[in-house]
Amino acid sequence: MFIQIVGVGKLKEKYLVQGIAEYAKRLGPYVKFEMLEVPDEKAPENMSEAEIRQVKEREGERLLALIKSEAHVIALAIDGKLWSSEELAAELDKLATYGTSHVVFVIGGSNGLSDAVLRRAQQKLSFGRMTLPHQLMRLVLVEQIYRAVKINRGEPYHK
């Protein structure tokens, strides 16, 4: 299975880069894993709704350009489904079993994802109603993917 995380913005914090690198290394024996970044759109702090939509659209175009047509896309969105770690594992297992070998998780920027990206997604996943920094979300997500892989293999880690 090939799993990608595609996100907006460059990771700058050393602790996030190191944490993601550690989980990517741990995933190596089990799946092909890749993390891709697109530049975030420079924008002022106080934007109108129209300006926010424009920023999301420009970032969304960059994200969509990296997603292959055959990929199964799971967008991280606050209004998505809440899955437990076991449910994420079951979903990845189901996708692999039924021939979907390429899964892309998409994480938007600080303003979220564009409508075009949400339409492209086959599923929307939420990690809860709390707002988390989109860069921290990458670390949380890659850890959960690793946990899911371990659950599916019946190996210890997820307790």
Tens of pLDDT, residue by residue over 126-159, are 999 888 888 899 999 999 999 999 999 999 875 5
Would you state the CATH architecture of domain 2-42+49-153? 3-Layer(aba) Sandwich (3.40)
Binding site as annotated, residues: 76, 108, 127-132
Is the confidence at residue 28, as pLDDT, over 90?
yes
For residues 4 and 73, what is the distance between their CA atoms, to the nearest angstrom? 10
Question: Tell me, what's the pLDDT at 54?
Answer: 95
Domain ranges of the chain: 2-42+49-153
Residue 31 has pLDDT above 60, yes or no: yes
Q: Which two tokens stand for residue 98?
A: 């039924």
Closest among 35, 133, 25, 118 to 77, alpha carbons compared: 118
pLDDT digits (tens, 9 = 90+) for 87-126: 999 999 999 999 889 999 999 998 999 999 999 999 999 9
Question: How many CB atoms are located within 10 Å of the residue 112 CB?
Answer: 21
What is the spatial order of strands in the sheet that 32-38 belongs to?
32-38, 2-8, 102-107, 72-82, 123-126
Contact 132, 78 (CB under 8 A): no
What residues form the annotated binding site for S-adenosyl-L-methionine?
76, 108, 127-132
